Amino acid sequence: MRFGVALLLAAVAAGHVAGDARANGDPASDVLPFSNVFLSINDPRTSTAGRDLLTQTQAAAKLKRPVKVAVISQPSDLGLIQSLWQKPQTYAEFLGKELLQFGSYKGTLVVSMPNGFGVNGPDAAKGKAALARLAKPNTNDLEQLGQHTTVAVRRVAAANGYILPASSGGGSGDSAWVIILAALGGAAVIAGGLFLALRRWLLQP
């Protein structure tokens, strides 16, 4: 009886952890803890703009100025929070809090949407003014929006006193299967910890 109750508690706890991890409902918050670039549903390595963004974020990391990027080209990119569509600054602040809470990320975040840009994190104070001077992308074409985003990321960097590359021809991002494996690995660690804790409890005299 005691063992059955323990298994039930473990299942409930595991389900609660998994539910919390997806409770935010926006795909970028699931991808960005494991990668620096969210390019809608696309692997950023498959497009020129995506590779440029990967190169920029890698260069920023080497300068100890971490930057993550979310390119939001359509409402579905926001998952369950489509009320934040066409509100890039509001979404940047929302997503920044999620990345801090679920991924302990404390760096800069740049968000782009067809109607403009948003920025959150340590470079936001100066970055907002730089982004306000940029023309709105006015496109939901993912490649074009990604190109506008590369300019936005460089402008935020320049406003804060560092320079990022304008373009690359390549960048080694995280493919979708790597992201999925990382997420499964995290779930396995949580489940293993719960199992060991319950085993110690069950073996107590």
Residue type, 116: G
Domain 25-174, CATH 1.10.10 — does that match?
no
The percentage of the chain sitting over the pLDDT mark of 70, rounded to a whole number, equals 69
Asked if 78 contacts 26 with a C-beta cutoff of 8 angstroms, the reply is yes
* pLDDT of 11 above 90: no
* pLDDT of 126 above 80: yes
What are the extents of the domains in the chain?
25-174
Residue-wise pLDDT for 61-80, tens only, equals 999 999 999 999 999 999 99
Task: Give the per-residue pLDDT at 46.
Answer: 95
Residue-wise pLDDT for 84-109, tens only, equals 999 999 999 999 999 999 899 999 99
Q: d(Cα 39, Cα 136) in Å, to the nearest integer?
A: 18
